[in-house]
Amino acid sequence: MKMLEQYHLYVYFFSLISATIFLYKWLTLRKTALKNLPPSPPTFPIIGNLHQIGPDPHISLRALAEKFGPLMLLKFGSVPVLVVSSADAAREILKTHDLVFSDRPISSVANRLFYNGRDVAFALYSEYWRQVKSMCVTQLLSSRRVHSFHNVREEEVALLIRNIEYPPSKIVNLSDLLAELTQNVVCRVALGRKYESGDKGNSYKILLGEIMELLGYSRSMGDFFPLLGWVDWLNGLKAKVEKAANEVDTFLEGVLRDHPSTVASNNGYANKDFVSILLEIQNTDAGSSMDKDCIKALIWDMFGAGTDTTSTTLEWTIAALIKSPDVMVKLQKEVREIGRGKSNISEDDLVKMNYLKAVIKESMRLYFTAPLIVPREARQDVKVMGYDIRKGTQVLINAWAIARDPSLWENPEKFQPERFLNSPIDYKGLHYEYLPFGGGRRGCPGIQFAMAVNELAVANVVHKFDFELPNGETREDLDMTGVTGITLRRKSPLLVIATPHV
């Protein structure tokens, strides 16, 4: 009898639980059905739309957007992802609802490499993020501070020119020299010194390359499939990330250990490198969030953002000029007329070089260094262009596709700098058809820093040299294929024969 009573009790509880689950699912499905969600391609169970994303995600997503529209909802595993592929839709995300989409999705790889989101690029939107971004802009990236580094840029560009003019062999590897230029500039303004070959330099360069690869190609299974995080141990991702993170920490500990002690001075932070400023804030401002992990995260942020993207932009620009001799001749004419009689181009000369500015803008349009703007995440439910977007939805803005939209750009696949002459379109994030640095409050804060290096380097290189390709190659042979990572790099190094212009 007792067993029968227990049996009825079990049946009762089982029925109650089943009814509760059924009711919950019914209400959830009904609620979902009432939502006006963006168009979506068909999904596979468990993986969602991941099978439709190829090795070049920006190209795969543009192809899907051509079928399903400029605002498209995908599923990456269990994660909803909103893909934005038009200027109007980008404006909705970056301007109309900028605050709603100001968060970053949690990335296990980025968290481990950047001290649990203590940096600017990957930190969650918070008071901490606002403080450290403001500090980075004020102390390193403001117009005043960028201008104060002009001697560093001019000295390092002069060194670049010497290395091109007197190479160890007839064939010059411009890719390596441009990477060295940007690394030297960033090291000098951030650390107060260069890290050259034999002085932690090679290990630093290799490590930076590994980090860029991990951030670009490697997403934790746990990020998309919470129950499958253990797979990262089996496929070796956890070990790679852990090794890289430990090497980053060892390098940065050495940077701080070797850095001269800082003493507060009456002239504030003028002429001080970034590390000195951070250490001084840590020592003198008791209310600051500045601890050692924060300092290390911000230093590494400046390295990654300041070197890789800038050298990649320079490489694409010079390759595009070699590929388009008419444009090269026109640019050389402008630069050489303004620089007539000068051994090098100074930053004061750049103000007059309108075609130079148009060339760099066009290069950044056609050869996006970051085709997909760093992902954002919705902080709350919101309606975008009539569609309901749920809290926690990740957002990918396909800036590469927008910049090649034939409804916005005439002959979008052609390298044509003239399109930017007498045009109000700029790269500062206010023209949504053109977003090389992103936009909104999570846009890249280093625009002025990067463009100062880009313009000075390109102007001096084309002022000083004429280029041809080695081994009898013609400009038609020049490979303009990109390799997708956190940045879109050239697949092949840029090898040239440089002849000094007389």
Point out the annotated binding site for heme: 444
Distance CA 361, CA 454 (A): 10
Phi-psi group of 411: left, alpha or beta (phi > 0 → left; psi -120 to 50 → alpha; rest → beta): left
Q: How many CB atoms within 10 Å of residue 296?
A: 23
**Cβ-based neighbours of 86, under 8 Å, separated by 6 or more:** 70, 71, 402, 405
H helices of 69-149, in order, are: 87-91, 108-113, 127-136, 143-148
Distance CA 439, CA 10 (A): 58
Which residues fall in the annotated binding site? 444
Residue 353: exposure state from Cβ atoms within 10 A (0-12, 13-18, ≥19): buried
The answer to whether the beta carbons of residues 85 and 65 sit under 8 Å apart is: yes
- Among residues 334, 350, 345, 336, which one has the least CA distance to residue 502? 336
H helices of 218-291, in order, are: 221-224, 231-234, 237-258, 274-284
Handedness of CA 278, 279, 285, 291 (dihedral sign): positive
**Cβ-based neighbours of 165, under 8 Å, separated by 6 or more:** 464, 465, 498, 500
Distance CA 323, CA 496 (A): 12
Distance CA 105, CA 103 (A): 7
**Cβ-based neighbours of 193, under 8 Å, separated by 6 or more:** 187
The answer to whether the beta carbons of residues 88 and 70 sit under 8 Å apart is: yes
How far from 385 is each of 36, 68, 90, 96, 322, CA to CA, in Å?
Answer: 11, 15, 11, 10, 42
The DSSP call for residue 289 is -
For the chain, what's the residue count? 502
Instruction: For residue 101, give the amino acid letter.
Output: F
Residue 282: exposure state from Cβ atoms within 10 A (0-12, 13-18, ≥19): middle
Strands 376-377 and 71-76: unpaired
